[in-house]
Structure 1
Amino acid sequence: MFVSFSYPKLKRSAIERWDQQADRRSWLAKGLRARLISETSKSVARSVLTIKTLVALCPMIGLLGTVTGMVSVFDVMAISGTGNARAMASGVYRATLPTMAGMVVALSGIYFSVQLENLATRERRELEDELGSH
């Protein structure tokens, strides 16, 4: 959402700031160009970093579900013994489902985070080209 709604305004603001610059060949102008590119690309990279962090947490949340499910299995084993497989099945189900869900979300999240990282790189290059051509 950031790339679709907020980033175009930020990019347009950076281009307008660069267009106001009369001198574009001095060391100071090159520093301004580098700062504009860095600030806009940093804002996109921050969004990607947040998504990557959340993707990395998904397997851990699934593992937490696994632990709670296994506690349920051990509770059933303590009450009814090891011979009642039907009673243990619900705990195994509660242990397996969160793990699977966490892994599915993490794997699909990796795909989307790579796509967003590529988009951020492409947007940075486009901004570098636009500021270089103005």
Structure 2
Amino acid sequence: MSFFAEFSLALQDFIETGGQVLLVIGVLIFVMWLMILERIFYYLKGHQQLKRQTLETWQARSDKSSWNAEQVRGLLISRAHLALAGQLPVLQALVALCPLLGLMGTVTGMIEVFDVMAIAGTGNARSMASGVSKATIPTMAGMVGALSGVFASTWLQRTARRERMKLEDRMLLEQPTQ
């Protein structure tokens, strides 16, 4: 049997063990990491282009010390910062949603345990085990997704702030002294 077939079967068993909520958590984590990777690629490529264009626009101005020039500089910096931090609030919402979906998986798993207890009684531990796994696996998956997302979104926020400060400093250095 090939690696992909074995992996597919193992993944299918894992999702069945964790219940349908685990599938939703998996899709959420996948979308979250797509957004994280998009931001990383933007920081590496797209932002460098925007930064170059912003600096060229600023350097092309003859007036760099008037009130109007300060407003234009603020506008250019704000546009660059909006492009840097564009999807970060959505990303943070997805990170916050991961543990909540894990909690929902816990509740649905415990409902299954209580259903089994109502039908079979408290003496049948084997029949309660599937409900307990449906209660714990989504919680774990939600926490793993949230932790990885928190680390990534914090790094992205710090990078956006640092890049904004660098751009501000570069534009201030090119301002004539009075």
TM-score, structure 2 normalization: 0.70
Give the superposition deviation at 1:31. Answer: 0.5
- Give the conservation status (yes or no) of the 8 Å contact 1:55–1:105: yes
1:95 positional shift: 0.6
In 2, the alpha carbon distance for the partners of 1:2 and 1:55 equals: 20
Deviation at 1:99, TM superposition (A): 0.5
> Is the Cα contact below 8 Å between 1:2 and 1:47 reproduced in 2?
no
3-state SS in 2 of match to 1:24: coil
Q: What is the aligned partner in structure 2 of residue 57 from structure 1?
A: 97
2: CA distance, partners of 1:128 / 1:55: 30
Runs of 4+ in structure 1 off by over 4 angstroms are none
1:21 maps to what in 2?
61
User: After superposition, what is the alpha-carbon deviation per residue over 1:23-55, rounded to whole angstroms, capped at 9, x for unaligned?
Assistant: 101110110001111111122222322221111
Q: Distance in 1 between matches of 2:130 and 2:71?
A: 63
Query: Aligned equivalents of 1:96 and 1:73: distance in 2?
Result: 12
Task: Look up the SS of the partner of 1:22 in the other structure.
Answer: coil
Q: Which amino acid aligns with 1:94?
A: K
Return the alpha-carbon distance in structure 2 between the equivalents of residues 107 and 120 of structure 1: 20
Q: Name the residue aligned to 1:43.
A: 83
- Consecutive unaligned residues of structure 2, counting only runs of 5 or more, are 1-40
User: SS at the partner of 2:122?
Assistant: coil
Distance 1:71 1:13 in 2: 57
Q: Does structure 2 retain, via aligned residues, the 8 Å contact 1:58–1:105?
A: yes
- Range with bigger deviation, 97-106 or 43-52: 43-52
In 2, Cα distance between the equivalents of 1:127 and 1:100? Answer: 41
Query: Which structure 1 segments of 5+ residues have no match?
Result: none
Matched with 2:13 is none
CA deviation profile, 1:48-82 (whole Å, cap 9, x unmatched): 22221111111011112112211221221222112
2-structure distance, mates of 1:66, 1:2: 37
1:133 lines up with 2:173 in the alignment: yes
Is 1:85 matched up with 2:125? yes
Q: Does 1:103 find its partner at 2:117?
A: no
Q: Greater shift after overlay, 29-38 or 99-108?
A: 99-108
Which residue does the alignment assign to 1:32? Answer: 72
Structure 1 match to 2:155: 115
The CA deviation string for residues 73-112 of structure 1, in whole angstroms up to 9 with x for no partner, is 1221222112111110111001101101111221222122
| Paired position in structure 2 for 1:76 | 116
Cα drift, residue 2 of structure 1: 2.3
